[in-house]
A and B are shown apart, each in its own frame.
Chain A
Amino acid sequence: MSSSRKKVLLKVIILGDSGVGKTSLMNQYVNKRFSNQYKATIGADFLTKEFEIDNRLVTMQIWDTAGQERFQSLGVAFYRGADCCVLVFDVTAPNTFKSLDAWRDEFLIQASPRDPESFPFVVIGNKIDLENRAVTSKRALSWCQSKNQIPYFETSAKEAINVDKAFQTVAQNGLAQETEIDIFNSEFPEIKLDQSRPQNDSCSC
């Protein structure tokens, strides 16, 4: 199993109400750019970013909701094998902050992580570049503390403020969480169809 540790795939999903800037955040982090042209997440799927931590090559896959969150219709497949969940709200829109409870519950039900209490979440209050702030840091922090000390970041995807820092925490905390698929992977290789080369298919038992 130690050999399979060299390469790590980290699945991160971003949740939050429509329009809080989920797509912008991941685009800013991965592509270092911001566009004000997305409308309800057309074309956004998942982005990957590779980096090295502790001699391990980590591929972080950040999954967008693809707009399916709009009518609370994200299927269970979206949540499969998540290593970290980022909850995003808009600091100028109190309703999006109030929704965090529902998104967290939804995640815990659908993804049903092994240990819900210690599953790594990260909360991001986005759009701090705007004037009309309506959710205070204090209020957000106190919510995060009440949910087992979730790390909290205030960002601007537009001005690239704090975005890298937030995702570094996402990566670290996600890595600390070993999901079942990683455990199984070494024992039962998963087959991806788009890889032209057949993978090692031996079954260890």
Chain B
Amino acid sequence: MEPGFEDEYDLVVIGTGLTESIVATACSRIGKKVLHLDPNDYYGDLWTSFTFPQLDDWARRHVQLAGGKNLPDNGSQHQQQQQFQSQHNHDQNNPSEKVNNQTSNIGISLSKVNLTAGEMVYPWESGINLISNVEPVSYMINEAPEKQDLDKATEEEEEDVEEADDETEPWTFEKLSTERNWGIDLVPRLLYSRGAMVNLLVSSNICRYLSFRSIERILSCLPGTDELMDVPCTRQDIFNDSYTSLIEKRVLMRFIQLCLELERRPDLIEGFEGFEEQPFIEYLRSKGFTPLLQHLVLNSIAMVDPTTPTQEAMEQLKRFVSSSGRFGNTPFLFPFYGCGEIPQAFCRLCAVFGGTYCLKRTIDGVVAKDDVINSIIVGSQQIKCQNLVCSLSNVPKSLLVPRQVTNISRAIFISSGSVKDSQCAGSLLRFPGPFPILVVESSWASLIAPKGIFVIYAWCDSFTGNAKEDLLPIARKLFNFESGDEMNGKPKLLWSCFYNQATVDCSSITDKYQNLYVTSPPVNELDYDVAIEEAKSIFDTLLPDEEFLPRAPDHDEIVIEGTQTNQEIDLD
């Protein structure tokens, strides 16, 4: 017999993606009663980390959903501008008829729903699918491993795995599937060491649930070639770098020094020698930056376009420089076990402060009067709630107003080697262009894959409307697609998956209920600034006078009051 939920909550949240999880946690943290549901059997929604079999299932399911074989669209028409075709708004005049047509969705018979005057029951249909053009491909020869003993042998001699590459059995689909310890992200991110997420994790003390690893290098693809160079990030790196000339080293050193000063003296940025509104490239040229230096500063350090105004570019540089050297050479951190740990860390704190969690469950209907939701229906229970927060994919399509959506093209590559000779890399790489492509390499060293395996993510705003078309060219730059031996020093690709993910700003995507808040899907960003900003904004609307995620006390600061042993009460 399953225990039931309570009869009333301050807040009900549907979806355990990052934004919803932050809102749920912030509310629970200051004493609100929160019920947090997710129709999936895992945490994180699109912000999750999957095992390889989970990812493969996910991909196949989406291929099926799309109607079997998922061929890339012909032509180059720009498809990133789509619209949600909204059905007409809820049938205002005759909602109960609508309910009657859909009683199978609601597990409680209508006669048992407690309605006061003016209240109506509305079914909560499943939401929209944000994923399209999913194309998983395996490049492995699919054979069962011949010698079972090899597994044990490699475990004992882990140090030698890399060297003994030729001796070990080749990776097969089956072998990858039986490996443990995967954490493959659908929406990978890096954290600036002094960025918004790190700051929030520290100030809220949610960081106690997480461990990170420093991303050890930033790579850059030399223009016109497939060659990857290490971008020098520190004075030491610049000094040792073999690509830059002595003069270039001096220019770059001076520039990094200037950026450091900007951190201490932000006023310097204001009157940036008359270049504030000028394209950043103009500024760099004026300072005698050679094409190589321009390339490095633009694409790898500032990560902006040549036409970005200098002032904006300097802000980006400041962000980069201020985060450098805190934990490692580069400014970036990546979570152990994958980014899917982050929403779970928030949810844990929410639970510690009394939040109720239930996966594999969503609401079946709402009871509303005019434009206010008074209660929700979950299975056979009617639960009062003051506010409802819902991720976009969990909101019935009929509640959404038509909106332009942006399509992000994404790819996941699983490889038996690093994109550039390393045994444990964490790397960031940016390909410039009208639609810049970000590439993040993570590996077994972050405990996201079995030993010797690298997971490389790439994403960009879609320009062809199809992820494979957008990202295949850079995949060819990075990987060896042939099944033979390694060629050109490029790592061998074992498996890949291209997919598109739609996103849209959901701040006013529905006007049906005044106490329904919809959270946006992940956007195209490197850190988590947009998601945090949105969560905070929803929290501030819900509870304008409350502090957003004040520091949670540590375990030894939590003292259970009224400790005594005189009377036994059942703990539940």
Contacts and interface: CB of A to CB of B under 8 A. Distances in A.
Contacts of A158: 565, 568
Nearest to A193: B207
Contact of A45 (B337, B558, B568): B558
Given A42-B354, A68-B351, A192-B207, A80 B337 contact: yes
B447 A180 contact: yes
Interface stretch (B120-128, B209-217, B401-409): B209-217
Interface in B551-572: 555-556, 558, 560-565, 567-572
A47 B208 CA distance: 12
B255 interface: no
Interface stretch (B90-98, B141-149, B266-274, B326-334): B326-334
Given A47-B555, A201-B328, A33 B563 contact: yes
Given A36-B567, A42-B353, A45-B352, A191 B213 contact: yes
Nearest to A66: B351
B336 to A, nearest CB: 6
Interface in B516-567: 555-556, 558, 560-565, 567
B196 interface: no
Contact of B181 (A24, A180, A198): A180
Contacts of A159: 565
A130 B564 contact: no
A42 to B, nearest CB: 5
B560 A33 contact: yes
A35 B556 CA distance: 16
A199 interface: yes
B150 interface: no
A67 B356 contact: yes
Contact of B212 (A24, A72, A190): A190
Contacts of A66: 348, 351-352
Contact of B327 (A75, A80, A199): A199
Contacts of A51: none
Contacts of B571: 19-21, 23-24, 36, 38-39
B185 to A, nearest CB: 13
B229 interface: no
A162 B560 CA distance: 22
Interface string B199-237: 001100101111111101000000000000000000000
Among A45, A70, A77, chain B packs the most CB atoms within 10 A around the CB of: A77
Interface in B338-356: 340-341, 344-345, 347-348, 351-354, 356
A205 interface: yes
Contacts of B422: 205
A78 B447 contact: no
B210 A193 contact: yes
B512 interface: no
B369 interface: no
A184 B447 contact: yes
Q: Tell me what chain B mostly uses at the interface: helix, strand, loop, or mixed.
A: loop
Among A31, A189, A193, chain B packs the most CB atoms within 10 A around the CB of: A193
Contacts of A188: 213, 424, 445-446
A19 B565 contact: no
A200 B384 CA distance: 51
A60 to B, nearest CB: 12
Contacts of A45: 348, 352, 555, 558
B447 A75 contact: no
Interface stretch (B102-110, B256-264, B357-365): B357-365
Contacts of B447: 180-181, 184
Contact of A68 (B214, B327, B348, B560): B348
Contact of A43 (B158, B202, B352): B352
B565 A34 contact: yes
Interface residues of A, number: 58
Contacts of A20: 571
A44 B558 CA distance: 8
Interface in A115-146: 129-130
Contacts of B67: none
A13 to B, nearest CB: 12
B42 interface: yes
A77 B572 contact: no
A100 B353 CA distance: 26
Contacts of B347: 68, 75
B202 A35 contact: no
A145 B347 CA distance: 36
Contacts of A34: 563-565
Among A39, A67, A159, chain B packs the most CB atoms within 10 A around the CB of: A67
Contacts of A38: 560, 571
B560 A19 contact: no
B272 to A, nearest CB: 31
Interface in A44-79: 44-48, 66-68, 70-73, 75-78
A97 to B, nearest CB: 16
Complex A-B, nearest 8 residue pairs according to Cβ-Cβ distance, in ascending order: A19-B572, A193-B207, A77-B344, A71-B358, A190-B211, A66-B351, A112-B180, A75-B43
Interface of A: 18-21, 23-24, 27, 31, 33-40, 42-48, 66-68, 70-73, 75-78, 80, 112, 114, 129-130, 158-159, 180-181, 183-184, 187-194, 198-199, 201, 203, 205
9 contacts: A71-B358, A71-B359, A75-B344, A76-B42, A77-B344, A77-B345, A188-B445, A189-B213, A205-B424
